[in-house]
């Protein structure tokens, strides 16, 4: 039976009743199979599981989709029940930011927060890291699961945990994809049929990159052939978001817009021919 709480005192009471290692899955709701994978991983590695559901206004820039972001707490709770989550914390904004957003003390993301998503969405990682830090303090988990789909977010959270000594294990979870390869995202629900067809160029580009010794060029070629996509970036980096190696394992990251919907994806690739 999943317990739903909305307030800090109720969370603290429920948290003190949890036993063993506690695993946290932070979410913004609209739970899909990608979130289920995070929950299942948390259940594998922890004894008790907590899911948070909060559409964090701090990580949405002006003109982004805060107002239209899907909200479906009843359905989210049903998913958590099915996955046998112990506790769901779904606060309203005033519960999480009681002093208001104005003048708020925030977590400053380091230089990694200024590139890629951080360059396209100024303030995004300050918003993400601030809410994640607060959820870590409130839930006090031993570990937390984050999807590899948001690869930079995963790297930034890892770095924050290390830099600010949170002492929480960060567990990565592989991206879950539709049968046609599109990475699951709550934002996929915004896509029209035509936009969704255009969005498929992203997983196609990833597959081409994984099959090529020149992954960046291979991905760019596929993306350039899809007029329905506007590319924000296609980059190669090292596994920790640093400079890509001259050869060997690297990570390909893609951000693109189909209509007004922004999609991101990434995958491991290899630069150069595999060793004989
Ligand atoms: O990945 C998300 O859904 C959000 O960025 C997170 C980690 C729940 C913080 O609001």
Question: Given 142, 173, 204, which residue is the final one in a domain?
Answer: 173
- 145 neighbors 25 (Cβ within 8 angstroms): yes
When divided into structural domains, the chain yields a total of 2
Question: Is the pLDDT reported for residue 141 higher than 90?
Answer: yes
- Dist. CA 154 → ligand 1 center (Å): 10
pLDDT band, very low/low/confident/very high, at 240 (cuts 50, 70, 90): confident
Instruction: Give per-residue pLDDT as tens, 194-206.
Output: 999 999 999 999 9
The answer on 196 and 146 residing in a single domain is no
The answer on 192 and 169 residing in a single domain is no
Q: Whose CA is nearest to atom 5 of ligand 1?
A: 128
Domain of residue 260, residue span: 186-267
Give the predicted TM-score (pTM) of the model.
0.96
The answer on 206 and 115 residing in a single domain is no
Residue 128, ligand 1, Cβ within 6 A: yes
The answer on 219 and 92 residing in a single domain is no
Known active-site residue 6: no
What number does the ligand 1 atom closest to the CA of 132 have? 9
Residue 30, ligand 1, Cβ within 6 A: no
HSE, CB side, 13 Å, CA atoms: give it for residue 177. Answer: 17
The answer on 93 and 41 residing in a single domain is yes
Residue 150, ligand 1, Cβ within 6 A: yes
Q: Is residue 274 part of a domain?
A: no
Tokens of 6: 């909305």
pLDDT band, very low/low/confident/very high, at 276 (cuts 50, 70, 90): low
pLDDT band, very low/low/confident/very high, at 144 (cuts 50, 70, 90): very high
- 222 neighbors 202 (Cβ within 8 angstroms): no
Which residue of the set 6, 35, 102, 108 is catalytic?
Answer: 35
Question: Is the pLDDT reported for residue 209 higher than 90?
Answer: yes
Report how far Cα 184 is from the mean position of its chain's Cα atoms. Answer: 11
């Amino acid at each position: 039976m999943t317990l739903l709480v909305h307030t800090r005192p109720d969370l603290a009471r429920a948290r003190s009743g949890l036993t063993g290692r506690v695993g946290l899955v932070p979410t913004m709701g609209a739970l899909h199979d990608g979130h289920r994978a995070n929950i299942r991983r948390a259940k594998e590695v922890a004894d008790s599981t907590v899911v948070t559901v909060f559409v964090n206004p701090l990580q949405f820039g002006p003109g982004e989709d805060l107002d239209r972001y899907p909200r479906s707490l009843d359905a989210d709770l049903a998913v958590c029940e099915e996955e046998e989550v112990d506790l769901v914390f779904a606060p309203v904004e005033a519960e999480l930011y009681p002093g208001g957003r104005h003048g708020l003390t925030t977590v400053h993301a380091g230089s990694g927060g200024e590139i890629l998503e951080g360059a396209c969405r100024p303030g995004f990682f300050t918003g993400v890291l601030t809410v994640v830090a607060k959820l870590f303090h409130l839930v006090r988990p031993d570990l937390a699961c984050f999807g590899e789909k948001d690869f930079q977010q995963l790297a930034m959270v890892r770095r924050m945990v290390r830099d600010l000594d949170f002492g929480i294990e960060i567990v990565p979870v592989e991206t879950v994809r539709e049968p046609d390869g599109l990475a699951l995202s709550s934002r996929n629900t915004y896509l029209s049929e035509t936009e969704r067809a255009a969005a498929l160029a992203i997983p196609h580009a990833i597959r081409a990159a994984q099959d090529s010794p020149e992954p960046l060029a291979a991905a760019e070629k596929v993306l350039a052939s899809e007029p329905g996509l506007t590319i924000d970036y296609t980059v190669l980096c090292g596994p920790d978001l640093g400079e890509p190696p001259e050869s060997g394992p690297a990570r390909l990251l893609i951000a693109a817009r189909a209509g007004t919907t922004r999609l991101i994806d990434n995958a491991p690739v290899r630069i150069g021919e595999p060793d004989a």
